[in-house]
Amino acid sequence: MTPGLIVVGASLGGAEAFAGFMAGLGEPRVPVALVLHRNRQPRGSLADYLARLSGVPVAEVDDSQPLTPGVHLAPADYHLLAGERAFRLSVDEKVIHARPSIDVLFESAAESHRKQLAAVLLTAASRDGAAGVVRVAGLGGRAYVQDPSTAESSVAPAAALAALGEAGRSARVGSPRRIGEWLRAEGCGTERREEP
């Protein structure tokens, strides 16, 4: 069964890792929701930067926007949550010093999509994402973790793998590009249309 939603989390160095992931995935055929920890940047600029880097359009999410194929970026200073049919935002407290938080996205998506979810945790410099990945796996979704040896910061990938181990769950481990290719093979992406 092809996952109906992909959630991706990353921080430090995450933009390049995300571009690698998208290179493997190709043209997304399902919604791809992305939390990237960031310092205060001018709004909008990060989406443009990611789009240039990865070669696919990237848009910041508005509240209640429907889940549609393509890349949806969590806006600065909001948590991004995934419901069954739409994205929702919140300005609740930070979680592990982060807003947007990877755990918040992963846990909400796990609860709304269960087995239909693929979660991808890339390079990140805090524990954010570890609990989320465990929740995803616990509800039957697929978990993918960047190989810590390929990550600019291995804190999150290593924490996630340890937490999964403790919970008796597992994830597939690979480079961002490999993970993208696995998901493409599952039907989540297609060959990029060549520029004319």
Partner 1 sequence: MEGDLEALEIELLLEAVARRYGYDFRSYAPASLRRRVRAVLRHERFRTVSRLQEAILHDPAMLPRFVAQLSVGVTGMFRDAGFYQCIRDEVIPRLRTYPFVRVWVAGCSSGEEVYSLAILFQEEGLLPRTRFYATDLSEMVLERARKGVYPVTSMREHTEAYIAAGGREDFSQYYVADHRNAKLKSSLRQSIVFSQHNLVSDEVFNEFQLVLCRNVMIYFERELRERVHDLIYRSLAPLGMLGLGMRETIDFTPHAADYAPVDERVRLYRRRR
Q: Of the residues 11, 54, 108, 112, which is catalytic?
A: 11
Closer to partner 1 at the Cβ: 15 or 82? Answer: 82
Taking the C-alpha atoms of residue 163 and residue 145, their distance in angstroms, rounded to an integer, is 12
Closer to partner 1 at the Cβ: 108 or 146? Answer: 108
Length of the chain equals 196
Shortest spacing between CB 133 and partner 1, in angstroms = 16
37 catalytic, yes or no? yes
Task: Give me the helices (H) in 80-175, please.
Answer: 102-113, 130-138, 155-166
Q: Of the residues 54, 108, 113, 128, which is catalytic?
A: 128
Q: Of the residues 37, 72, 79, 113, which is catalytic?
A: 37
Taking the C-alpha atoms of residue 43 and residue 94, their distance in angstroms, rounded to an integer, is 19
Interface ranges with partner 1 (CB under 8 A): 43, 60-64, 75, 78-79, 81-83, 88-93, 99, 104, 107-108, 111-112, 139
Closer to partner 1 at the Cβ: 109 or 118? Answer: 109
Strands (E), the chain: 5-10, 27-28, 31-36, 58-60, 70-73, 79-82, 87-90, 117-121, 142-146, 172-174, 189-190
User: Could you give the residue numbers annotated as active site?
Assistant: 11, 37, 128
